Homo-oligomer: A and B are copies of this chain.
Amino acid sequence: MSETFFTSRWVERPRRLLDSSEIPAGFRLAGIACGVKDSAPAALDLGLVLCDVAGTVSAARFCDSGVLAAPVVVTRERCDLHGIRAVVANSGNANAATGEAGIEQAVAVQKAAAAALRLDPREVAVASTGVIGVLLPGERIAAAVPDLVGALERDPTNFAHAIRTTDVLDKHVALKVDLPSGSINLSAQCKGAGMISPRFATMLCFVQTDAALDAHTAELLLGVTVKRSFDRISVDGQLSTNDTVILMASGASGVWVEPESEDELRFGEALDALLRQLALRIAADGEGARRIGRVHVRGAGSETVAHVARSVANSPLVKTALFGGDPNWGRVAQAIGAALPGSAPLRFDIAIEGVTVARDGAAVEHDAAALAAAVARDEVLYEIDLEGSGAEAELFFSDLSYDYVKINAEYTT
């Protein structure tokens, strides 16, 4: 599992990773077709994650768009975010820009699932991905909840498929990690990439563990690891209305992750590697993507370095050059300048895969053949040094290909 999952040189593998494909104890998942996606044959479009253990500890993160989808609003405002026992997620409809009616439909789904699972509605999160501006068929989903509950199983495959839109790469995994106090399991199911999937997408990620965490630790670790993973990818620079990441810890392994212990450090490493590799897989699955880039900016001022990193990662010129394997570093220089208007003359160094192409803002002689070979690899590193020091920012990004245009232009409503 770890051999095929941890493929990027930019992810440090957790120590003591054991081979396993078991999902953590205490969890079951389901995925069924209920007709939200209008396709024939019927596609899986409704999923459920359930923790059978009372006292589950959870943490959640959402996007901060000004246009938040109804399921994000409902989960954020009507759930106990540290006590989520179940998540109902659908694809095919984002339930965003749907107003009060959209909220009502999301609440109807939440209530139906809570009733069927005998949980408090505050323990049931909802998540959606799909077209924006179309009301979610909440009654249809509510009516399908008994079937959904009946489909609960220890195999995450159907659930993982039910939350997918046009994802091509598989994005679910189960890992076993040997912590000092004992072995624990981690699993995650993830979909999408930025706003890149057709019609709209979103990234959804659900993480389960049988480690025992307190709410503060879950919150802390999810916060840090999301910042180092899903917050650092750009497919098309488009903030979604629906992004949701939920971590649930059943504690069923009996391994207690004490705050500030070696166990916490190791668990955090494993969660970090897991989310980071999933995030890279999202970037690599950016529609039609051929290769992914990593931009790493050093300088003074955390806002400045973050802004430059985003400008490079989101530049369609840098992305098309990456797609074409074109060593045209001038596009990187352009993106740096565009990020910091009014600051000329900027001093900056640029190195691509270790080949320095610009120093102090000006071109330098370099080995063109080495550079051309480097930019044709699957992963390309762009290092930018601005003046000053003390701050750094990193982003992973997909290239921009014909297929991105095709999928987003030719999919008509």
Contacts and interface: CB of A to CB of B under 8 A. Distances in A.
A18 interface: no
A199 interface: yes
Contacts of A134: 330, 363
A363 B97 contact: yes
B66 A342 contact: yes
A322 to B, nearest CB: 8
A54 B413 CA distance: 61
A160 to B, nearest CB: 24
Contacts of A66: 336-344, 346
A354 interface: no
Given A316-B236, A361-B99, A133 B330 contact: yes
A333 B102 contact: no
A326 interface: yes
A325 B410 CA distance: 8
Contact of A238 (B238, B317, B362): B317
Copies of this protein in the complex: 2
Contacts of A361: 67, 97, 99
B334 A67 contact: yes
Query: Which secondary structure characterizes the binding site on chain A?
Result: loop
A362 B97 contact: yes
Contacts of A239: 334, 337-338, 341
Contacts of A337: 65-68, 239, 241
A171 B315 CA distance: 26
Interface string A88-111: 000000101111111000000000
A409 interface: yes
Interface stretch (A19-27, A42-50, A396-404): A396-404
Contacts of A341: 64-66, 239
A4 interface: no
Contact of A409 (B323, B333, B409): B323
Chain B CB within 10 A, most for which of A133, A340, A348: A133
B328 A358 contact: no
Interface residues of A, number: 75
Given A334-B241, A338-B239, A320 B408 contact: yes
A102 B357 CA distance: 16
Contacts of A195: 317, 334, 338
Nearest to A330: B132
A186 to B, nearest CB: 30
Interface in A301-334: 315-317, 320-321, 323-331, 333-334
A73 B344 CA distance: 9
Interface in A286-314: none
A361 B361 CA distance: 45
Contacts of A240: 334
Contact of A413 (B315, B326, B363): B326
Interface of A: 64-68, 73, 94, 96-102, 131-135, 195, 199-200, 236-241, 315-317, 320-321, 323-331, 333-346, 348, 357-358, 360-363, 400-402, 404-406, 408-413
12 contacts: A64-B341, A64-B344, A66-B337, A67-B334, A67-B338, A94-B330, A96-B330, A238-B315, A238-B338, A324-B408, A324-B410, A402-B402
Given A65-B337, A327-B413, 15 more contacts: A64-B344, A65-B344, A67-B344, A99-B361, A131-B328, A132-B330, A134-B330, A195-B317, A236-B317, A238-B334, A316-B408, A320-B404, A324-B408, A325-B412, A400-B409
